[in-house]
C-alpha cells in the first residue's frame, strides 16, 4: 500500500496516543484474577440488513468473561448496530448469539436485560425532571417486584425491597462520586455528569456484561478522564465484563484487553490493541474515513 498513506495513518494513531487520558495507577491496578478464557458472549456470523443497507455482514467474535473488549471502526461501520443486536433491540437477519452458553438470538430486550446485559446509548437517555437518585433507581426495575416509586404506606416485604433498592442506588451514587448531586434534577447537570448518571442507571441493574456506546463522545479531557476511571472501576471492582464502543484511540489503546474492528459492516481485525493498531486493513479503513 501507499507509503504516504501509511505514515499518515501512523501519525493519526500517534497523535491520538499522545493525548494519554488514562492515569498510570488506573492501568496498574487492573487485576486479571477473575478473567477467564471462557466467553460470556459469543456472536456467530451476524448479519443485519435494513432494506438495501447491509449494516452487518457475517460478524462474529467472543467476549471473554471479565474483559474490556472495544469495538472500533469509522462512522457507519456497524458498531451501534452490533450493540443493538447483542442487546436484543434488533433481531439479526442471520447468525446466532450465545450468552453464558445459552442461545438467545431471538430474545427480547427485556429478556436480554434479565439475563444480565445492560447498556448505555450513544445519545443521552435520561428522564427529564427526575433526580439523579430517581434516574438510577429506574435501573433497579429488574430487581423490583412492587413497581417503581410505589407510593403510600406499605410494610413488610415491599418496604424491605424498597429499602434494599434505595441502599443499592446510594452505593452506586457513591461509587460514581455523584453524592453531592444526588437530589439534583439529572438533566440540569453538566453533560459529563449526565453521562455518568446514565452509566449509573445501567450499573444499577447489576449486569454481568455492560455495553457502552461511545460513553465519552463530546466530553472534555477532564470528563473523559473521570469516565475512563469509572469504566475501569466497574470492570475491576464490580467485575463487569465490558463492551466499549469508542472513537478515542488513546482510551481504546489504554484500557482494552482486546479490540474488534468493524468497517462497512464487516469485521476487519481482532486482537490486542497493539496488534490492531498496526494492522494494515485497520489503517486503511481509518484513512478511508478522511478521504
Ligand atoms: N435503523 C436503521 N435503519 C436504516 N439504516 C440503519 C439503521 N441503523 C443503522 N443503519 C445503517 O447501518 C449502517 C451502520 O450504522 P451504525 O449506526 O451501526 O454505525 P456506527 O458504527 O455505530 O457509526 P457511528 O460511529 O457514526 O455511530 C449505516 O450505514 C447506517 O446508516
Ligand atoms: Mg454508533
- pLDDT tens track, the chain, 291 positions: 344 444 444 433 333 333 455 545 544 444 444 555 689 999 999 999 999 999 999 999 999 999 999 999 999 999 999 999 999 999 999 999 999 999 999 999 999 999 999 999 888 778 888 999 999 999 887 777 655 555 555 666 777 888 888 999 999 999 999 999 999 999 999 999 999 999 999 999 999 999 999 999 999 999 999 999 999 999 999 999 999 999 999 999 999 999 999 999 999 999 999 999 999 999 999 877 654
The ligand that comes nearest to the alpha carbon of residue 86 is 1
Smallest Cα–Cα separation from 186: which of 134, 122, 119? 134
Ligand index nearest the alpha carbon of residue 90:
1
Mutational test site, ligand 1, from 46, 54, 80, max ligand atoms within 8 Å of CB? 80
pLDDT score for 31: 45
3-state secondary structure of 275: helix
Ligand 1 lining (C-beta closer than 6 Å): 50, 53, 55, 73, 75-81, 122
From CA 9, how far away is CA 74, in angstroms rounded? 13
Q: What pLDDT, on a 0 to 100 scale, did the predictor assign at position 32?
A: 47
For 57-181, where are the alpha helices, taking DSSP H only? Answer: 79-86, 109-115, 132-138, 157-175
- Strand-pair partners of 151: none
Residue nearest to atom 17 of ligand 1 (CA): 80
Question: For a pocket test of ligand 1, which of 72, 78, 92, 122 has the largest count of ligand atoms closer than 8 A to its C-beta?
Answer: 78
Handedness of CA 182, 186, 192, 195 (dihedral sign): positive
pLDDT at 7: 45
> Could you identify the atom of ligand 1 that is nearest to the CA of residue 48?
12
Letter string b/e over residues 109-142, b meaning 16 or more CB atoms within 10 A of that residue's CB: eeebbebbbbbbbeeeebeeebbbbbbbbbbbee
The Cβ of residue 216 has, within 10 Å, a number of other Cβ atoms equal to 22
Q: Which atom of ligand 1 is nearest to the CA of 73?
A: 21
- pLDDT score for 10: 40
244 C-alpha to ligand 1 centroid (Å)? 17
Q: How much is the pLDDT for 36?
A: 59
User: Near ion ligand 2, which residues have CB within 5 Å?
Assistant: 79-80, 122
pLDDT of the residue at 11: 36
Give the span between the Cα atoms of 76 and 210, in whole angstroms.
22
Nearest residue (CA) to ligand 1, atom 2? 50
Domains along the chain? 1-23+32-116+207-291 (3.40.50.300), 126-206 (no CATH)
pTM, full prediction: 0.85
What residues contact 11, with CB distance under 8 A and at least 6 apart?
none
Specify the residue with its C-alpha closest to ligand 1, atom 16: 78
**Dihedral angle sign, alpha carbons of residues 139, 142, 148, 150:** negative
Amino acid at each position: 500500500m501507499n507509503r504516504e498513506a501509511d505514515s499518515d495513518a501512523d501519525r493519526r494513531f500517534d497523535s491520538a496516543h499522545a493525548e494519554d487520558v488514562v492515569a498510570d495507577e488506573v492501568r496498574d491496578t487492573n487485576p486479571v484474577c477473575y478473567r477467564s478464557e471462557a466467553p460470556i458472549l459469543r456472536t456467530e456470523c451476524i448479519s443485519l440488513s435494513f432494506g438495501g443497507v447491509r449494516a452487518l455482514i457475517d460478524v462474529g467474535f467472543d467476549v471473554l468473561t471479565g474483559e474490556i473488549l472495544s469495538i472500533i471502526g469509522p462512522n457507519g461501520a456497524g458498531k451501534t448496530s452490533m450493540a443493538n443486536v447483542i442487546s436484543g433491540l434488533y433481531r439479526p437477519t442471520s447468525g446466532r448469539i450465545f450468552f453464558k452458553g445459552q442461545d438467545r438470538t431471538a430474545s427480547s430486550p427485556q429478556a436480554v436485560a434479565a439475563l444480565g446485559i445492560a447498556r448505555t446509548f450513544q445519545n443521552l437517555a435520561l428522564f427529564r425532571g427526575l433526580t439523579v437518585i430517581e434516574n438510577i433507581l429506574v435501573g433497579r426495575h429488574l430487581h423490583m417486584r412492587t413497581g417503581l416509586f410505589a407510593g403510600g404506606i406499605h410494610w413488610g416485604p415491599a418496604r424491605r425491597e424498597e429499602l434494599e433498592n434505595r441502599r443499592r442506588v446510594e452505593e452506586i451514587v457513591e461509587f460514581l462520586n455523584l453524592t453531592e448531586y444526588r437530589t439534583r434534577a439529572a438533566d440540569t447537570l453538566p453533560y459529563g455528569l449526565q453521562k455518568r448518571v446514565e452509566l449509573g442507571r445501567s450499573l444499577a441493574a447489576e449486569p454481568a456484561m455492560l455495553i457502552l456506546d461511545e460513553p465519552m463522545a463530546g466530553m472534555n479531557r477532564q470528563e473523559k478522564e473521570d469516565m475512563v476511571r469509572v469504566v475501569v472501576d466497574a470492570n475491576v471492582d464490580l467485575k463487569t465484563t465490558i463492551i466499549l464502543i469508542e472513537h478515542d484511540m488513546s482510551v481504546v489503546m489504554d484500557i482494552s484487553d482486546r479490540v474488534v474492528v468493524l468497517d462497512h459492516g464487516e469485521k476487519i481485525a481482532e486482537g490486542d490493541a497493539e496488534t490492531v493498531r498496526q494492522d494494515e486493513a485497520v489503517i486503511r479503513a481509518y484513512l478511508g474515513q478522511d478521504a
